[in-house]
A and B are shown apart, each in its own frame.
Chain A
């Protein structure tokens, strides 16, 4: 079945450091790919998405590119802030708007 694998955390960075969180997937066909973020005590919020190969999703300084050849969707940000501390989930959907399959989540801690 479909699955998502993302790097284990926690990831601890200093403010203004570069962030990469790796995500790879296994799926049949051409899934849509997402990054969701969960702040403490909150629900999940969509951070960015990509619906086809080579699409780049971006939001709030975060970016991820849909790489079909490597089945990857790595999350990057050039300069993290303390307010970016959260749990980040990579996810796929076989049909856009359909059920999501999530990775295990990666805790990001940014220290000032």
Chain B
């Protein structure tokens, strides 16, 4: 398996624009997680899905952020409108019950 695949690896966008980050989990995994990494706040869980259903979205910063998982092999994290303070590295991870989480390489988002 190729592991967790995220795209794009880097994204630079202007404030106010919509940004969509994509994630393909490892085949067969039934849990998917979105994390955000910043210098100030470290690694924070934004949302996680189990069997494509959002279980805990308490980490989503505000209504500008939304996440979907339309099927077992794809998830998106959308920011609309984007702001400079959203600049961070966003990681997607997947796991199966009773296994550890595997992380993608991340998307580095810069909002100017």
Contact = CB atoms under 8 A, between A and B. Distances in A.
A binds B: yes
Interface string A78-112: 00000000000100010011111111110000000
Contact of A97 (B42, B56, B100, B106): B100
Contacts of A104: 42
> For the side of the interface on B, what is the size category?
20 to 34
A22 B56 CA distance: 29
Contacts of A98: 31, 48
B88 interface: no
Q: Secondary structure at chain A's binding surface: helix, strand, loop or mixed?
A: strand
Given A43-B91, A44-B91, A105-B42, A100 B106 contact: no
B106 A49 contact: no
A97 B45 CA distance: 14
Interface in B41-56: 42-43, 45, 48, 56
Interface of B: 4, 31, 33, 42-43, 45, 48, 56, 91, 93, 95-106
